[in-house]
Amino acid sequence: MTEELLVSARAAVAAAPPVGDPAYARYCGELAKRLAAHWPAVLAANAEDVAAAERRGLPPVLLDRLRLTEAHLGQLERLTEAVLSELDAVTEPDAGVRVGEWGTRLRVPKPLGIAFMVYEARPTVTVEGALLPVAVGNAVILRGGKEIARTNQALAAVARDAFEAAGLPTGLVTVLDDPDRAQLRALLKRPDMIDVLIPRGSPSLINHCRNASTIPVIASGGGVNHLYVHRSADLELAAEAALDSKLPEPTACNTAEVVLVDDEVAADFVAAVLRASERGERHVNVRLGAQFPRPDAAAAEDSRRPWRIEELQEHDLGREFLDATIGVYPVAGADAALEHIRRYGSGHTEGVVATDIEVTEDFARRVDAAAIVVNGSLRLHDGPTLGLGSEISISTGRMHVRGPVTLGSLVTYSWVVDARGTLRGAL
């Protein structure tokens, strides 16, 4: 079975038209139309997956990651439109450059080949995986979590219809329906057939893929991200940045887990966070170390308050909370904050709030992360938001791509050299 699907994917890449062919633009449009037409069937399959997950006792935060709604259809339709609008810029060869007096060189985009995406519970990733890599000529093998098996089967049928309508080989997308880890292990051992591995999910999933395979990895590592609040910061801005970095998407990879705040303004910062929570009726759990004075007991026990105070434990450092929880950890200045980030950060997104320009510039120079946000929300680290284009993940690696993995990151290039009869020995 594994050999058959790999051979089929390789044959599909060989049969597919070159990067930039109009068939890929047609596919984007056909995928959007067929998603809309089949969305009731997709939602019905998804409802079965969610019901099964509820029976297994999955927590609400994971159920939300599984669940699809009408709003998701609109998001996916907009994604197909964005990818379509970005194709020409990514797939056109460059204009060519003269080389001495004898020839020209130009760079021509080519697909990476076969991409293997391993992910967990977000069914929207199935559509992203069937769209972005394929739009630039790659084949993709998609392995989602067993929790979304029915949803993925429905989405696979949508992709097949779109391929047929666009005139592309249907083998460009394979959605695995075998939850057996033996198949995953077998695929991870096939660098001869799979060109790139794109794991998305928990740090444990990503580490497993890295350690079990020699296939080149575009790794979207876990988001253990921090916001450092310097004593010069506007604390109201810092509080808003902290809440916006967490609450809209608590499980996203670019959210904040712990705010590192200078000792002398730590208590005032916490008070600003609680006020901001109350202003917007934004529910948040704030975890504080033992050294923090606790808010007034009566206020803390008032069930009408949208915030809750909890204890920050040692094991909370260096992990993702995956809910509306944010830790606040006092530090003795920028050097201590940087040391904390080096020890616990995942190299994804780090931020600083300060009015002292020397502090922000020093922080940006010294922090090693895919993105560093100055005086703003960590959730700004996103391909479309930054004007970089549609993304399939955010990479924390250092080779090939770091940060948003956009269409341009899913192609490689060939040099075409027009030598005009020139021989090396004649130069």
DSSP string of 385-415?
TTTS--EEEEE--SSS--EEEEGGGGEEEEE
Average pLDDT for 377-394: 96
Q: What is the pLDDT of residue 301?
A: 61
In the block, tokens 């799979």 appear at 194
Q: What is the pLDDT of residue 90?
A: 94
Q: What is the pLDDT of residue 293?
A: 67
Q: What is the pLDDT of residue 296?
A: 60
Q: What is the pLDDT of residue 298?
A: 52
Q: What is the pLDDT of residue 120?
A: 85
Average pLDDT for 311-337: 95
Residues 6+ apart with CB under 8 A from 157: 38
- What is the pLDDT of the chain when averaged over all its residues? 93
- Asked whether the beta carbons of 116 and 198 are under 8 A apart, the reply is yes
Phi, psi of 49 (to 5 degrees): -60, -45
Q: Which of 155-169, 196-210, 241-255, 284-298 has the lowest mean pLDDT?
A: 284-298
Q: What is the pLDDT of residue 164?
A: 96
- Asked whether the beta carbons of 322 and 61 are under 8 A apart, the reply is yes
Average pLDDT for 48-72: 93
pTM of the model: 0.90
pLDDT range class, residue 62, cuts 50, 70, 90? confident
Tokens of 158: 């949508």
pLDDT above 90 (res 177):
no
Beta bridge partners of 173: 140
Q: What is the DSSP letter of 32?
A: H
pLDDT range class, residue 225, cuts 50, 70, 90? very high
pLDDT tens digit string along 257-282? Answer: 999 999 999 999 999 999 999 998 99
Q: Which of 66-80, 207-221, 269-283, 402-416 has the lowest mean pLDDT?
A: 207-221
Residues 6+ apart with CB under 8 A from 94: 106, 107
pLDDT tens digit string along 26-54? Answer: 999 999 999 999 999 999 999 999 999 99
Q: What is the pLDDT of residue 215?
A: 95
The string over 76-110, giving b where at least 16 C-beta atoms fall within 10 Å of a residue's C-beta and e elsewhere, is bbebbebbbebbeebbeeeeeeeeeeeeeeeebbe
- Asked whether the beta carbons of 238 and 364 are under 8 A apart, the reply is no
Per DSSP, the three-state class of 112 is coil
pLDDT range class, residue 408, cuts 50, 70, 90? very high
Residues 72 and 69: their CA atoms lie apart, in Å, by 5
pLDDT above 90 (res 207):
no
CA angle 27, 32, 38 (to 5 degrees): 115
R_g of the chain, CA atoms, integer Å? 24
Residues 368 and 357: their CA atoms lie apart, in Å, by 19
- Asked whether the beta carbons of 237 and 414 are under 8 A apart, the reply is no
